[in-house]
């Protein structure tokens, strides 16, 4: 007899937490909350308490929970074909890659299952590109405070010592420069540079956007030294900023050679994306890279459905995001510890002059989910479907949490 239906009544938040603590690797600091179901931007815990979810699975649940078109696509595809491996074709990789090429301005796409895998694919592409030129061309320049993932290659170019220190020595050739320091970038990039890695808006680093000028200089330096420029759009990309990709906010648009995306791209079904131009693509030849799960029929079908829905949502992401920032700024006037409200679209950070975790806890108790990154930055990555009314509700809860 399966235990689950009979035992379900006995499940409590405490029993779930106890079992997790006994058997699951203790690598996360979790909030003491067991989420049970969701609808749109709302989630309910096991006890039936409702939360407005403004962190959305760290920017993954782009359409919130239980979106009818996403549910239908999953159900229909799951009943037909989930996975084939990349020994065969499926019907959806080609159309999805075409769609991503059209909206990104890039040429080719590789599919994997997570952000860090997209970073790894980019690193292999960059290293292979460098080796095609010279064995000494293997340096990768990335930014202090950046975050590119938890696997070893991604860690090697993540500019935050706290993530790296326990695993050193890491991949050689990584060089870190402070963001927005053009002189430091110029000094770091040279003939040995194979690639430059940038988050157009640093996410884990505290929702910190880069200037157009800085990105443009990175583009020029990459061209001058035959390096590949990679934009990590895993958190800031795929609609989050009200454009398809954050780099499209730059005027004129600074194009990368490689771009990575993941979090929202299949609304919670794991999918990572690396998109690149032909110049970068030619570094990877048959057999040099791959993934068993990557781009399976279920994930790519759901992502295609998502892109159809996203097209209609982009204007409201921009509009509601602007409203949210202006409401946060107005609220911030009341509290002297609110230093700055920043971001684009629905990627918003509120920098405080003190640690933000107490506010996160009180907001949660008040029915609003968010998180705090970089110690002092309240981070909002709400689903793209929210309206001004949801913003009002969130700001109301937040104001009480701050008082």
Active-site annotation, residues: 147, 232, 263
Beta bridge mates, 9: none
Single residue of 116, 291, 296, 300 touching ligand PLP by CB under 6 A:
116
Q: Is 373 in the site for ligand PLP (CB under 6 A)?
A: no
Q: Which of 350, 347, 341, 329 is nearest to 386 (CA)?
A: 347
Here the tokens at position 401 are: 């949490």
Instruction: Kindly tell me which of 149 and 356 has the beta carbon lying closer to ligand PLP.
Output: 149
Give least dist CB 57 to ligand PLP, A.
11
Single residue of 121, 149, 332, 356 touching ligand PLP by CB under 6 A:
149
Give least dist CB 158 to ligand PLP, A.
8
Single residue of 148, 175, 219, 374 touching ligand PLP by CB under 6 A:
148
Give least dist CB 258 to ligand PLP, A.
13
Q: Which of 287, 284, 209, 278 is nearest to 249 (CA)?
A: 209
Q: Is 147 in the site for ligand PLP (CB under 6 A)?
A: yes
Instruction: Kindly tell me which of 159 and 242 has the beta carbon lying closer to ligand PLP.
Output: 159
Q: Is 248 in the site for ligand PLP (CB under 6 A)?
A: no
CA distance to 130, 225, 230, 251, 306, per residue, from 212 (Å): 26, 20, 15, 7, 29
Give, in degrees to the nearest 5, the angle at Cα 165 between 258 and 348.
Answer: 50
Instruction: Kindly tell me which of 77 and 119 has the beta carbon lying closer to ligand PLP.
Output: 119
Site residues (CB under 6 A) for ligand PLP, limited to 208-237: 232, 234-235
Here the tokens at position 346 are: 């629905």
Site residues (CB under 6 A) for ligand PLP, limited to 162-201: 199
The torsion defined by the Cα of 93, 98, 102 and 106, in degrees rounded to 10, comes to: 80
Instruction: Kindly tell me which of 58 and 81 has the beta carbon lying closer to ligand PLP.
Output: 58
Q: To 10 degrees, what angle do helices 297-332 and 93-104 make?
A: 30
Give, in degrees to the nearest 5, the angle at Cα 306 between 305 and 310.
Answer: 125
Site residues for ligand PLP per CB under 6 A: 114-116, 119, 147-149, 199, 203-204, 232, 234-235, 262-263
């Amino acid at each position: 007899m399966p235990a689950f239906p009979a035992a379900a009544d006995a499940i409590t938040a405490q029993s779930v937490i106890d079992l997790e603590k006994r058997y699951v690797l203790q690598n996360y600091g979790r909030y003491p909350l067991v989420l049970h179901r969701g609808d749109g931007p709302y989630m309910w815990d096991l006890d039936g308490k409702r939360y407005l979810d403004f962190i959305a699975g760290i920017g993954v649940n782009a359409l919130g929970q239980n979106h009818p078109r996403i549910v239908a696509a999953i159900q229909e595809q799951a009943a037909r074909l989930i996975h084939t491996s990349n020994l065969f074709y499926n019907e959806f990789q080609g159309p999805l890659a075409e769609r991503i090429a059209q909206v990104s301005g890039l040429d080719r796409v590789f599919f994997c299952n997570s952000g860090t895998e997209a970073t790894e694919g980019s690193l292999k592409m960059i290293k292979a590109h460098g080796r095609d030129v010279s064995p000494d061309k293997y340096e990768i320049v990335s930014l202090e405070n950046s975050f590119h993932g938890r696997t070893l290659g991604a860690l090697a170019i993540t500019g935050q010592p706290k993530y790296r220190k326990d695993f050193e020595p890491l991949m050689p050739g990584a060089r870190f420069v402070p963001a927005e320091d053009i002189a430091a970038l110029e000094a770091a990039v040279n003939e040995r540079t194979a690639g430059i890695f940038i988050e157009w808006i640093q996410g884990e680093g505290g929702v910190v956007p880069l200037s157009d000028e800085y990105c443009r200089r990175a583009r020029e330096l990459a061209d001058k030294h035959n390096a590949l420029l990679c934009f990590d759009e895993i958190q800031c990309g795929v609609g989050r900023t009200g454009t398809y990709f954050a780099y499209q906010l730059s005027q004129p648009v600074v194009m990368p050679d490689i771009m990575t995306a993941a979090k929202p791209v299949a609304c919670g079904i794991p999918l990572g994306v690396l998109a690149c131009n032909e110049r970068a693509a030619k570094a990877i030849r048959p057999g040099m890279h791959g993934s068993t799960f990557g781009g399976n029929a279920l994930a790519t079908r759901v992502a295609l459905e998502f892109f159809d829905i996203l097209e209609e949502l982009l204007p409201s992401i921009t509009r509601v995001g602007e409203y949210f920032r202006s409401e946060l700024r107005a609220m911030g006037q009341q509290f002297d510890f609110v230093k700055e409200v920043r971001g684009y679209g629905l990627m918003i950070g509120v920098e405080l002059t003190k640690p933000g975790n107490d506010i996160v806890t009180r907001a949660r108790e008040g029915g609003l989910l968010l998180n705090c990154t970089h110690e002092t930055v309240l981070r909002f990555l709400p689903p793209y479907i929210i309206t001004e009314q949801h913003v009002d509700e969130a700001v109301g809860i937040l104001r009480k949490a701050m008082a």
